[in-house]
Amino acid sequence: MAGSAVVVVVAAIAASQLLGGCAPSHHPARQARHAAAPHRVRGPLTSPFTGRRIPYLRRVLVFKIDNVPQARPPTGLAKADIVYLLPVEGGLSRIFAVFSSRIPRVVGPVRSTRKEDIKLLNQFGRPAFAFSGAQPGLLPVVEHSRIVNLYAGKYYGDYFRSFNRAAPYNLYARARVLFGVAQARHASKARDIGFRFGPAPPGGRPTRSYFVHYPAARFRFVWSRRQHRWLVWMDGARSYDSGGPRLGGATVVIQYVRVTRSVFLELGHRPPYANTVGHGHAVVLRDGRAWRVHWSRPDKNGGTAYRLPDGHRMLFAPGQVWVVFAIGPFSTIG
């Protein structure tokens, strides 16, 4: 399955048209791709998103990616620093993928944004945000939020349609080109959003796998001792990146939030709205064990702190982090 998807993407890159027409895109950043490398910080520096060593802090580029079975496998997701799973209409899920340390050549399939994305974006400062669109009332709200706007309707030359998937599951982005735009337009660099990395704290319950579900979507995270990470299963199937690797994270956070309804209709219905500002309970998976923690994010412009029952910060394992916004207490959907 993974090999065929690589062919899909490579073939699609040759296409230079989107929705039947393609004009030159806005390119203040074509030159930025060839600009001098950012200033390198002396001494050890680690990513605030992954805890891994990096030479310097880079711009933040966020993609909204489809996650229904017809859209799988995704492309480029294995290189994300953080993968968020959020509920959307129909009981399904969508991916909010954060890139900074590594930028793949192609990311997709890119889909539309929802109102809940705005507060999630706020914690990154002024990140670059790539998405396919939004319902008419929401689109101007998102475009005028604190982002570098990489809406496909404006940068259409930097997106393309695959010929081997049906719309709307076939829109892909030339991620490195868009990253150049993010650099040229001074998107925020990676910064502290509350994650802390280090050795595992004492305790934790030995855990081989952990299940999470939405009304019409199921996720399972299975500990791999060989790969030393949690491998992802979605709707009963192993999850892969189209480039071949299994998807999975060194740390998985199951964050229980209050899920209400958005004021912006999608296909005549009010979609779910995950409230990521506030506080509640979470489960953190790392090193084959599970810890119950308390999460707190009092300010939409700040990050989320995860604390153990004794008040100490929960330390994550260095590597890719997955955060699932699970349906928690006082939700109006279930």
The two three-digit tokens of residue 291, written as one number: 């810890």
Determine the Cα–Cα distance for residues 121 and 63; give it in Å rounded to an integer: 11
CA-closest candidate to residue 133, choices 20, 15, 264, 13: 264
Q: Is the distance from CB of 217 to CB of 237 less than 8 angstroms?
A: no
Beta bridge partners of 248: 231
- What is 2-20+46-184's CATH superfamily? YerB-like (3.50.90.10)
Helices (H) and strands (E) in the chain, counts: 4, 20
The two three-digit tokens of residue 70, written as one number: 């017809």
| Widest Cα–Cα separation across the chain | 58
Beta bridge partners of 83: 97, 322
CA-closest candidate to residue 86, choices 274, 215, 235, 322: 274
Based on C-alpha coordinates, what's the Rg of the chain?
A: 19
Determine the Cα–Cα distance for residues 12 and 330; give it in Å rounded to an integer: 44
The bridge status of strand 171-174 relative to strand 237-238 is unpaired
Q: What is the pLDDT along the chain (334 residues), one digit of tens a residue?
A: 444 443 334 334 334 343 343 334 445 444 444 433 444 545 589 999 999 999 999 999 999 999 999 999 999 999 999 999 999 999 999 999 999 999 999 999 999 999 999 999 999 999 999 999 999 999 999 999 999 999 999 999 999 999 989 999 999 999 999 999 999 999 999 999 999 999 999 999 999 999 999 999 999 999 999 999 999 999 999 999 999 899 999 999 999 999 999 989 887 889 999 999 999 999 999 999 999 999 999 999 999 999 999 999 999 999 999 999 999 998 987 6
Q: What three-state secondary structure class fits 253? A: strand
Measured in residues, the chain has a length of 334
Helices (H), 52-138: 116-122
Domain ranges of the chain: 2-20+46-184, 205-327
Cα-Cα-Cα-Cα dihedral of 275, 212, 76, 240, to 10°? -170
Determine the Cα–Cα distance for residues 180 and 22; give it in Å rounded to an integer: 19
CA-closest candidate to residue 281, choices 321, 261, 318, 308: 308
Determine the Cα–Cα distance for residues 128 and 178; give it in Å rounded to an integer: 9
Does domain 205-327 fall under CATH 3.10.560.10? My reply is no
